[in-house]
Amino acid sequence: MRGVNGRRYFGTDGVRGLAGEAPMTAAFALRLGAATAEHLRARAPGDPSSQRHTVLVGHDTRASSAMLVAAFAAGLASRGVDVVELGVVPTAAVAHLVKVLGADAGTMISASHNPFGDNGIKLFDASGFKLADTEEVAIEGLLATLAAGDDALGLEPCTHEAVGGVQRYRQSDGHYLRHLLAAAPYLDGLRVGLDVAHGAAWQVAPNVFKQIGARLDVINAKPDGRNINQDCGSTHPEAITERVMRAGLDVGVAFDGDADRALMVDARGRLVTGDQMLAICAVVRREPAVVATTMTNLGVERWLLDRGVRLERVQVGDRYVFERLQRDGLRLGGEQSGHLLFLEKATTGDGILSALQVLAACRTSNVRLESWMDQIPVYPQRLSSVPVAAPDRGAVASDERVELALARAREELGDDGRVDVRPSGTESVVRAMVEARDPAVVERVLGELAEAISEAARGRPAHAVTGNAATQPGQGASSSDASEGE
């Protein structure tokens, strides 16, 4: 179970886990649906028993999504809440439709960029924002009580007219499609490659880009329930990179499973991360400041500062980017993974919208994407993900071995590099990130950090980490260019 901040189930992006194992079971989804219904009723003014609520439920293309949708919807309906099933839609469509349709809450069944075996449940409030920590804590309290049976809450049976109904949303209404088109530039024959990751964007993304004049080349658009994110999409951008280069395309876009994030590829085959997408939009829009995370590249930060844009850092997780944006009255923020927030246009990350905004910035500035890439410096940056049992992630990340390795890395890198260690909020790993001007230094320091994390996870007696520590990530760790997020 992957909770954070004292929560047992909710992490940085809803509840997530291996489908079929606790907590991602049909029984849990049923109970979570009932708890969500009771939470809505408890917040309603007047007599809660007289209130009627509506919750939207969307999902991605995973085989397990249908099971969880049915169970969650049943839980809602069992406690008197009406359900509107949206079918396969991006996460951002759920957030948008909650407001458009005047629903009381929204739910997305998806594990985003995770492998198909995982699944998750994300909750949105009536304004289309992800639930606040306090609301998730309240729902967890109801979950615990409901586990003891309805009598524990003193609930009256929900029968006859009180039982909630379930209906399907008419996709032909096109509310979300029109929302995207309103924020889209005309592409006038631009040759665009789309990797829709066999996921939630597999129909709507090509539809949008066709309507704005793109000449499309679409890959990985045959979802079978088990191939979502498999060697494709934003977690495997090499697929769209290869297509852009082989077909001579002007730009490529890769989405993740629920399309709340996107990465791009320029005409020369260079990966455009969320850092660079954020930087391009910030400069063209003349933002005074943007919010990013501890993963955001130092070279990008310094480039923005030279152009009058201040970069504020928060911990990884779009909820933390959102909180800082709201606190400081800013509009634009995001993560290196391609999870961007344009708060004047959307309440949550939207990969399709993000790609459209970058292309709009290129059109407005009359500067091609590859020319922007020539300008923006990026320091070598690498990420290592060390497997750690979920309950131990926080303790391992703060272990004395890890703290010592961190202190030595920061002393060595000084002002010309950065290092970060953090427990993942969505996976059973502890991540280490290192960036510096010298790629050899990056690899060596990353190896020392990963080994320290592995030792802490194995529970070895503490000892000093020396300069001769392993130069490769610790046993079981995976290493990659740092472009991940939760």
Which residue in the list 64, 65, 110, 112 is annotated as catalytic? 112
Class of domain 15-171 (CATH, top level) = alpha beta
CA-wise closest residue to 354 among 442, 468, 273, 242 = 273
Comparing 318 with 12, which gets the higher pLDDT? 318
- Report whether pLDDT(370) > 90: yes
- Report whether pLDDT(6) > 80: no
Instruction: State both tokens at 317.
Output: 């997780």
- Of the listed ranges 5-19, 252-266, 466-480, the least confidently predicted one is 466-480
pLDDT of 302 reads: 95
CA-wise closest residue to 81 among 32, 122, 151, 18 = 32
Please write the tens of the pLDDT for every residue from 315-342. 988 989 999 999 999 999 999 999 999 9
The mean pLDDT value for 465-471 works out to 34
- Report whether pLDDT(473) > 80: no
CA-wise closest residue to 97 among 45, 169, 196, 14 = 169
Comparing 164 with 471, which gets the higher pLDDT? 164
Comparing 390 with 259, which gets the higher pLDDT? 259
Is the CATH number of domain 175-375 3.40.120.10?
yes
What mean pLDDT value characterizes the chain? 90
The mean pLDDT value for 192-211 works out to 98
- Report whether pLDDT(479) > 80: no
pLDDT of 416 reads: 87
Please write the tens of the pLDDT for every residue from 75-101. 999 999 999 999 999 999 999 999 999
Q: pLDDT band at residue 469, thresholds of 50, 70 and 90? A: very low
- Report whether pLDDT(356) > 60: yes
The mean pLDDT value for 255-276 works out to 98
- Report whether pLDDT(290) > 60: yes
- Name the range with the highest mean pLDDT among 260-264, 455-459, 479-483: 260-264
- Report whether pLDDT(141) > 80: yes
The mean pLDDT value for 331-358 works out to 97
The CATH homologous superfamily of the domain defined by 381-481: Alpha-D-phosphohexomutase, C-terminal domain (3.30.310.50)
- Report whether pLDDT(461) > 60: no
- Report whether pLDDT(152) > 70: no
Where does the chain hold its CATH 3.30.310.50 domain(s)? 381-481
Where does the chain hold its CATH 3.40.120.10 domain(s)? 15-171, 175-375
pLDDT of 148 reads: 61
Which are the contacts of 286, defined by CB distance < 8 A and separation ≥ 6? Answer: none
Based on the residue annotation, tell me whether 112 is a catalytic residue of this protein: yes
